[in-house]
Amino acid sequence: MKKSILFILTIFTSQFLLAQYQFTLTSDCNCTSIKNQQNTGTCWSFATSSFLESELIRKGKQEEYDLSEMYFVRQIYKDKAQNYVYRQGKAQFGQGGLSHDVIQAFREAGAVPESVYSGKLPGDFMYDHSELEVALQGLLDVISKEKRPTNKWMAAVAGILDAYLGSVPEKFIVKGKEYTPQTYAASLGINPDDYVSFTSYTHHPFDQKMVLEIPDNWSNGSYYNVPIADIVAITKNAISKGYSVAWDGDVSEKGFSASKGVAVLPINEKREDLFTNPGEEVAVTQALRQSTFTDFSTTDDHLMHISGTAKDQNGTNYFYVKNSWGEISPYSGYIYMSEPYFKLKTVGIMVHKDAIPADIRKRLGI
């Protein structure tokens, strides 16, 4: 009897193991450690800061850099506040943003290490911007309705940011050397002009720049609009050459699970083994991409950092994606995103211009 039970358990365990996703990395760019944005809508800064940290590794920097995500966030809050008031309250304001916002903040305000500016006050154990957003929004709504506002509100915005995030030191010491945010950024050797954003929608002509109409594109950042096949080719080419990719897309699908570490686009969303066993996925077309964008079933919910490629046991292609929700999932905070999911749910990507395949770069004149 005991042997029979043992045999049955062995068969059950074997079947259970065979039903699990089995991923093998095929390439992997170096990343810094997983971070947690906690109770904030600042994934865009965490994803892009991680992207820049990988750029520093790629450039041969010997030490592992940890850039302050909240320093970039603070700068963008100020920029969004100005945009909101100057547009008399008829603009997007909130916690959201995009990768090109971090690049612009880096250009305008420099950068600082996490050790210098964490964005947490003494006694704070986690990030939480819910009250900060309410305080800023309330002030800006009042100012934007004033008939003749003064410029004093700018100091008020800075005061609110100081109250919730802490003030930024004008100078700081790193490894015995004094820096300002601008001189520290200059020491990193990152050129903001080297980074290019791409999207893929047919309501604008291909092979031209466009301003993507998504709520968090408050700064009217431009994207090269190319076919989705080019987006895939750019991402794969980048990873194969050691360049990582900043990703913006939709994570509201039933096939996306950060806790399971899998993002797939199944034909049957209701199957019970959705997150344990590879299955048939949707064949994504350019027309399908456009229809899901037009009817709002694809939205820019979240930004993450693509740092590698992988295959499952069936040979299906995946992208290896670093998230910013802490070390959850069986893969310590990483997600394996299938190529069909990527094709349909990618809103935009940002890469170093040297990571773009030569034929695409030539065609676009980059």
Classify residue 6: in a domain, yes or no.
Answer: no
Classify residue 321: in a domain, yes or no.
Answer: yes
Classify residue 123: in a domain, yes or no.
Answer: yes
Question: Rounded CA gap, 188 and 59, in Å?
Answer: 10
Q: Tell me the pairing of strands 317-322 and 334-338.
A: antiparallel
pLDDT at residue number 17? 41
pLDDT at residue number 159? 97
- The conformation of residue 113, written as its DSSP 8-state character, comes to B
- The conformation of residue 161, written as its DSSP 8-state character, comes to H
Classify residue 224: in a domain, yes or no.
Answer: yes
pLDDT at residue number 270? 86
Classify residue 45: in a domain, yes or no.
Answer: yes
Q: Are 305 and 247 in contact (CB under 8 A)?
A: yes
| DSSP-derived secondary structure for 286-352 | HHHHHHHHHTTSS---EEEEEEEEEE-TT--EEEEEE-SB-S-TTTTTEEEEEHHHHHHHEEEEEEE
Here the CATH number for the domain that contains residue 189 is: 3.90.70.10
Query: Shortest CA distance to 265 belongs to which of 191, 206, 340?
Result: 340
Classify residue 289: in a domain, yes or no.
Answer: yes
Classify residue 87: in a domain, yes or no.
Answer: yes
Q: Low-confidence residues of the chain, pLDDT below 50?
A: 1-18
pTM of the model: 0.92
- The conformation of residue 142, written as its DSSP 8-state character, comes to H
Q: What is the token pair recorded at 32?
A: 């810094």
Q: Is 128 helix (H, G, I), strand (E, B) or coil?
A: strand
**Which range marks the domain in which residue 271 is found?**
22-364
Q: What's the angle, vertex CA 311, arms to CA 306 and CA 316, rounded to 5?
A: 110
| DSSP-derived secondary structure for 40-74 | SS-HHHHHHHHHHHHHHHHTT-SSPP-B-HHHHHH
The number of distinct structural domains making up the chain is 1
pLDDT at residue number 19? 53
